[in-house]
Structure 1
């Protein structure tokens, strides 16, 4: 599991930006659930929220508090144009890296 945690750290920023690009906006709990459903399990809120706050301070996402319906408010995160640009630039780079790493692993496993 430790190795998977390291892999997740490498792609987590881009994965969160991609999920926000899909949904337009989301809050932390549903991002954790969506990461899990996407096959990136094991994300803990204690890891995700500092990441979201960092992305917010870097201008890649913006956050806003909204009143809850009958419960506490929620902090929603929205992708900014700068975040969309980072995803557009680095997403294909990560995809190419992952494709190359997969090719190396597959060759090694079939030897």
Structure 2
């Protein structure tokens, strides 16, 4: 489980940036979109610290806006730095995904080759 948690930490930043790049959004809505995309056990307690780090790092900016359902909401949008970070993430992800796919494909081919001989 610790390996999954470590892997998710880096990936979630890129995913949160991607969600915000599509449209300005607030924490709960970002969490909901990530849940709908397959991160089923993700909760706001995970997303809000990521948003805080990104805001502190200058990747996103926050504006408090009126909400029809109570107190003002923090609505997040990407800064130029955030847009650049997202592009870097996408390039890195493509490279890593390709490398992992190659390793897994080679592993599958190895198993197919040697399982047939047994």
Q: TM class, shorter-chain normalised?
A: 0.7 to 0.9
Q: CA deviation digits over 1:25-48, x for unaligned, max 9?
A: 111111111111222332121111
Partner of 2:114: none
Partner of 1:31: 30
- How many residue pairs are counted as aligned between the two chains? 110
Partner of 2:87: 88
Q: Give 1:2 deviation, angstroms.
A: 4.8
Q: 1:66–1:75: 8 Å Cα contact kept in structure 2?
A: yes
The structure with the larger Rg is 2
Q: 1:62–1:79: 8 Å Cα contact kept in structure 2?
A: yes
Partner of 1:4: 4
Q: 1:21–1:84: 8 Å Cα contact kept in structure 2?
A: yes
Q: Give 1:19 deviation, angstroms.
A: 1.0
Structure with higher RCO (Cα < 8 A, 6+ apart)? 1
TM-score under structure 1 normalisation? Answer: 0.86
Unaligned runs of 5+ in 2: 112-118
- Cα gap change, 1:70/1:42 in structure 2, threshold over 3 Å: closer, same or farther? closer
Does the alignment pair 1:58 with 2:90?
no
Q: Give 1:94 deviation, angstroms.
A: 1.6
Q: Give 1:70 deviation, angstroms.
A: 4.3
Select between 77-86 and 99-108 the one with higher mean Cα deviation: 99-108
